[in-house]
Amino acid sequence: MWVERNLARHGKEEEEKRDKERMQCINEISTYYTYRDEGKLLPADSLSTMFYVPIQEHLHRESALAQHNMWLCTYRAVILKSKTQAARDKKERERALKAAKSNRTNNSHSPPRRYQETHKSNISMKMRKKTEEYAKNALRKALQQPRRHKI
């Protein structure tokens, strides 16, 4: 059963295998062109020399299976990384925009930034003093206790 499905999917004869592999490459290449056209890649990569202006130009100039495979091996990782980074950048922009809108509406309820920074520094100063006091007390106690020597 697996052999039949494999032959149907990948072809029985060498020429049929090459045609099916070529179609898979073309489908993958067209997916990457769709990413570019829909703005799912970083702008620098969208304007890069890796893409021809229309996909038809790409398929015309690089029509051999070996050329498709070489293009995919060369640019697949770059395109997928670009797509991931573009999606991450888009989420960060959306979060920043949402935070900016939230700050505009809730600005009257939050204390001034200068107060927040001063308050944080006061807390850290208090923590530092307590830590120093604790260390001094521990050292004083250790020095006051008599030493016990094992014989």
* DSSP, residue by residue, 35-98: HHHTT-S-HHHHTSTTS-SSHHHHHHHS-SHHHHHHHHHHHHHHHHHHHHHHHHHHHHHHHHHH
Q: State how far the Cα of 54 lies from the Cα of 60, in Å rounded to an integer.
A: 10
Q: What is the pLDDT of residue 13?
A: 81
The whole-number average pLDDT for the span 21-27 is 93
131 pLDDT exceeds 80? Answer: no
Torsion of CA 115, 117, 121, 123, to 10 degrees: 60
130 pLDDT exceeds 60? Answer: yes
Q: Kindly report the average pLDDT of the chain as a whole number.
A: 80
Share of the chain above pLDDT 90, in %: 34
pTM of the model: 0.59
pLDDT category of residue 16 using cuts at 50, 70 and 90: confident
Q: State how far the Cα of 151 lies from the Cα of 114, in Å rounded to an integer.
A: 62
Q: Computed from CA positions of residues 78, 80, 81, 86, in that sequence, does the dihedral angle turn out positive or negative?
A: positive
Q: How far is Cα of residue 96 from the mean position of the Cα atoms in its chain?
A: 17
Which residue, among 117, 112, 30, has the nearest Cα to 79 in the 3D structure?
Answer: 30
Task: Give tens-digit pLDDT for 44-82.
Answer: 877 778 898 889 999 999 889 999 999 999 999 999 999
Angle at 117 between CA 114 and CA 118, to 5 degrees: 85
